[in-house]
Amino acid sequence: MTERLTETDKRVDSLTGAESVMVPTRQVRPNLPDSGCPFCPGGLETPRDYRTLAIPNRWPAMPDDRCEVLLYTSVHNKAFWQLGTSQVLHVVDLWTDRSRVLGARPDVDYVLIFENRGRLSGTTIDHPHGQLYALAETPAEPLNELVNGYMPSPPPDLIVSEDRNWQAWVPEAAKWPFELLIATNDGSRRLSDAGMDRVGLANILVDCLARLDQVFDQPMPYMMWIHQRPFTDEAFAPMPLHIHIAGMLRSAHTQRFMAAAEVGGGLYFNTVDPALAARKLSDLAGHR
Ligand SMILES: [Zn+2]
Ligand SMILES: [Zn+2]
């Protein structure tokens, strides 16, 4: 029986002000249940077939139903882009619905949706899925962008893909070898904003993630996270809804590690020139 989390043990580093959450309960979570994949229909978490599904995280990092697993499909062996635009539209709708529902809670300020893909990124279950954290406060990374008045404006030579109201490009100061920023120019700040171009978002996600898998002709391990506006109405600059993707391989056989100088210095050393990464990614076939 698992120990139930009753409160968030969030601590602030007295040296830096950085926040850490202590989650010893997650230390004992199994890599994979003995009964096989828990997310396949008939599995531990999903007795019936489904199109997409949000379920509570059995090993939450926080109490109060703030952690959800977002299942993208009932089919086990599929890359995100292989779902195709029609199924990815259902995924976008799942992200949007759960974001709206959790964002409406009075004890939720920020909804962070993210995905870890591949063992290198630390995922323990291969079945296509993302996660959601409904946070009481806006965390440091998006808060920093909001305070800085972050407004993406891609240099033309770094653009990788465009679709309707969305653009994808390699950030000029990328930290990761094959990093992408995908942002909308339709005025949306949150997934749930009326008029958010969900078709353009589905198309560009399918295309970009296909390109990442084509770079080294193998599944690219990545971290992906969605940045949207907090659910409080503080007066931040109008940051557009956007998605970060950090592709983690720098060659076919070499992963990029965050090394001591980077962790210790807060200064990042990326061995792949963003202009070259952008050219390589945009020259690939992608997927439409
Ligand atoms: Zn499965
Ligand atoms: Zn961001």
User: pLDDT tens digits for 114-172?
Assistant: 999 998 887 888 999 999 999 999 999 999 999 988 677 899 999 999 999 999 999 99
**Which ligand does the CA of 128 lie closest to?**
1
* Cα(244) to centroid(ligand 2), Å: 6
Q: How many Cβ atoms sit within 10 Å of the Cβ of residue 123?
A: 17
For 172-188, letters b (16+ CB in 10 Å) and e give eebebbbbbbbbbebeb
**Which ligand does the CA of 242 lie closest to?**
2
Q: Given this model, what pLDDT does residue 123 score? A: 83
Write the CB contacts of 177 (distance below 8 Å, at least 6 apart in sequence).
Answer: 247, 248, 249, 250, 256, 270, 271, 272, 277
* Cα(116) to centroid(ligand 1), Å: 15
**Which ligand does the CA of 143 lie closest to?**
2
Mean pLDDT of 196-210: 98
* Cα(229) to centroid(ligand 2), Å: 10
* Cα(18) to centroid(ligand 1), Å: 36
User: Band of the pLDDT at 272, cuts 50, 70, 90?
Assistant: very high
User: How far apart (Å, rounded) are the C-alpha atoms in residues 223 and 24?
Assistant: 23
Per-residue pLDDT for 34 more than 80?
no
Number of H helices, E strands in the chain: 5, 13
Q: Given this model, what pLDDT does residue 223 score? A: 97
**Which ligand does the CA of 75 lie closest to?**
1
Write the CB contacts of 97 (distance below 8 Å, at least 6 apart in sequence).
Answer: 54
**Which ligand does the CA of 73 lie closest to?**
1
Per-residue pLDDT for 1 more than 50?
no
Asked if residue 57 lies in contact with residue 46, where contact means CB atoms within 8 angstroms, the answer is no
Whose tokens are 């002000």? That residue is 17
Which two tokens mark 80? 């995100």
**Which ligand does the CA of 41 lie closest to?**
1
Considering only residues 31 and 267, tell me which one the structure prediction assigns the higher pLDDT.
Answer: 267
Mean pLDDT of 24-32: 72
Q: Which DSSP state fits 236?
A: -
Asked if residue 81 lies in contact with residue 180, where contact means CB atoms within 8 angstroms, the answer is no
* Cα(111) to centroid(ligand 1), Å: 25
Write the CB contacts of 206 (distance below 8 Å, at least 6 apart in sequence).
Answer: 80, 81, 83, 84, 85, 88, 287, 288
Average pLDDT, the chain: 92
**Which ligand does the CA of 125 lie closest to?**
1
* Cα(142) to centroid(ligand 2), Å: 6
Q: Does domain 33-283 have CATH number 3.30.428.10?
A: yes
User: How far apart (Å, rounded) are the C-alpha atoms in residues 25 and 98?
Assistant: 25
